[in-house]
Structure 1
Amino acid sequence: MNKIKVGIVGANPERGWASMAHIPALSALPGYEITALSSRNSGNAQLLKETYPVRHVYGSTLELSESNDVDMVLVAVRVPMHYNIVREVIAAGKTVFSEWPLGKNLRETEELAALARQNNVKGYIGLQSRSVPAIRFIKDYISQGHIGDVLSTSMIGSGIIYGEYTPLANDYTVDPESGAGMINVTFGNAVDAMCFVLGEFSELNATTATRRKTTTIVENGQKIPMKIADQVAVSGILESGAVATVHFRGGMLSGTNFFWEINGTKGDIQISADGGSLAVFEPVIKMSTGENGAMEVVEVPKAYNLVADQELDYIPASVGQNYTLIQSGDAPTFDDAVVRHRMISAIEKSAMTGRRESYI
Structure 2
Amino acid sequence: MIENALAHGTGTVSAGTVGTVGTVGTGTIGTGIVGLSARSGWATHSHLPALTRLPGYDLRALAASTPESARAAAEKYGVARAHHSAAGLAADPAVDLVVVSVRVPLHREVILAALAAGKHVLSEWPLGNGLGEAEELAAAAGRAGVRTFAGLQARSAPAVRHVRDLVADGYVGEVLATSLIASGRRWGPTFEPGGAYLLDRRNGGTMLTIPFGHTVDALTMVLGEFTEVSATTATRRPLVREEGGGRTLAMTVEDQLAVSGRLASGAVASVHFRGGLSRGTDFHWEINGTDGDLVVTGDHGHLQQARLTVRGGRGSATGLTELPVPERLFDVPELDDLRDTAAYNVGVQYAHVLRDLREGTRDVPDFAHAARRQRLLDAVERAAATGTRVTL
TM-score after normalising by structure 1:
0.97
Match of 1:325 among 352, 357, 361: 352
Q: Distance in 1 between matches of 2:178 and 2:40?
A: 36
Residue 312 (structure 1) aligns with: 338
Residue 358 (structure 1) aligns with: 391
Q: Distance in 1 between matches of 2:240 and 2:40?
A: 21
Residue 63 (structure 1) aligns with: 88
Per-residue deviation, 1:169: 1.8
**CA-atom RMSD in angstroms:** 1.3
Deviations for 1:129-149, whole angstroms, at most 9, x for unmatched residues? 111111112112211212110
SS across alignment from 1:11: coil
Match of 1:142 among 158, 164, 167: 167
Q: Distance in 2 between matches of 1:143 and 1:101?
A: 28
Q: Is the 8 A contact 1:289 1:296 kept in 2?
A: no
Q: Distance in 1 between matches of 2:31 and 2:63?
A: 11
Matching of residue 111 in structure 1 with residue 144 in structure 2: no
Matching of residue 262 in structure 1 with residue 295 in structure 2: no
5+ unaligned residues in a row in structure 1: which ranges? Answer: none
Per-residue deviation, 1:31: 1.9
Q: Distance in 2 between matches of 1:219 and 1:46?
A: 31
Per-residue deviation, 1:24: 0.2
Q: Is the 8 A contact 1:307 1:317 kept in 2?
A: no
Residue 71 (structure 2) aligns with: 46
Q: Distance in 2 between matches of 1:89 and 1:291?
A: 56
Q: Partner letter of residue 271 of structure 1?
A: V
Residue 21 (structure 1) aligns with: 46
Residue 198 (structure 1) aligns with: 223
Q: Partner letter of residue 61 of structure 1?
A: A
Q: Is the 8 A contact 2:229 2:262 kept in 1?
A: yes
Moved more, 9-18 or 100-109: 9-18
Per-residue deviation, 1:170: 1.4
Residue 343 (structure 1) aligns with: 376
Counting only pairs closer than 5 Å after superposition, residues 1-360 of structure 1 correspond to structure 2 as 1-288=26-313, 290=315, 292-310=317-335, 311-313=337-339, 314-329=341-356, 330-359=363-392
SS across alignment from 1:168: coil
Q: Distance in 1 between matches of 2:70 and 2:244?
A: 25
Q: Is the 8 A contact 2:230 2:387 kept in 1?
A: yes
Per-residue deviation, 1:293: 5.0
Deviations for 1:173-195, whole angstroms, at most 9, x for unmatched residues? 11111011111111111111111
SS across alignment from 1:34: strand
Q: Distance in 2 between matches of 1:345 and 1:291?
A: 42
Per-residue deviation, 1:50: 2.1
Q: Distance in 1 between matches of 2:33 and 2:114?
A: 11
Q: Distance in 2 between matches of 1:214 and 1:89?
A: 38
Q: Is the 8 A contact 1:267 1:291 kept in 2?
A: no
Q: Is the 8 A contact 1:150 1:265 kept in 2?
A: yes
Q: Partner letter of residue 326 of structure 1?
A: V
Residue 10 (structure 2) aligns with: none
5+ unaligned residues in a row in structure 2: which ranges? Answer: 1-25, 357-362
Q: Distance in 1 between matches of 2:316 and 2:230?
A: 32
Q: Distance in 2 between matches of 1:8 and 1:76?
A: 7
Per-residue deviation, 1:85: 0.7
Q: Partner letter of residue 367 of structure 2?
A: F
Per-residue deviation, 1:219: 4.3
Per-residue deviation, 1:10: 0.3
Deviations for 1:67-125, whole angstroms, at most 9, x for unmatched residues? 11111010000000001110001000000000001101000000000000011021111
SS across alignment from 2:195: helix
Q: Is the 8 A contact 2:296 2:310 kept in 1?
A: yes
TM-score after normalising by structure 2:
0.89
Q: Is the 8 A contact 2:54 2:334 kept in 1?
A: no
